[in-house]
Amino acid sequence: MLIQGARGAGKRSLARSLHARSRRAAREFRVFSCRACSPLEVRRLFLGERHGDARGRQVRYQGLLEGIGEGTLYLDEVEQLDFDMQRILARVVAEGFFRPLGSATPVAFRGRLIFSTCSDTGSAFGETIHSELRAVIGSDAVARC
């Protein structure tokens, strides 16, 4: 789902309200600002990482997609992510799984993603992510909430 509206229009409040009225209400609601990190950091934060250390032990970092469990992850200003990361998130929405960095084993995504943007979706997003979104809520609807 994508919530589109101007800054200060109440997109985060609407996302929180949608979460509270869903079957996921008892689960976690987490906000992530897509302006927060570099593209490489964002990939690790979302996908997590699996790799061996110098002693041969498996190192596991749980990313946001796995860590949210069955809750809702709200991605504020998703247009700030590069198109590659948008494509990865579109695949998560479409296929229901992702692969942590350094791993060939898919991990099921059990949560819900809510995206928001201040931009026109035609210019801000790659076609891939926009085509996978099930619902787009425009700024008029946000203003009424």
Helix and strand numbers, DSSP H then E, in the chain: 7, 9
3-class SS at 84?
helix
What's the length of the chain?
A: 145
Residue indicated by tokens 């609407």: 14
How far is Cα 29 from Cα 52, in angstroms, rounded to an integer? 32
**pLDDT tens digits for 44-57?**
999 999 887 777 77
Nearest one of 28, 113, 109 to 71, comparing CA atoms: 28
CATH topology of domain 2-144: Rossmann fold (3.40.50)
What mean pLDDT value characterizes the chain? 85
**pLDDT tens digits for 26-48?**
999 999 999 878 887 899 999 99
Residue indicated by tokens 């302006």: 35
**pLDDT tens digits for 78-108?**
988 988 999 999 999 999 999 999 999 999 9
Q: Is the dihedral of CA 100, 126, 110, 142 positive or negative?
A: positive
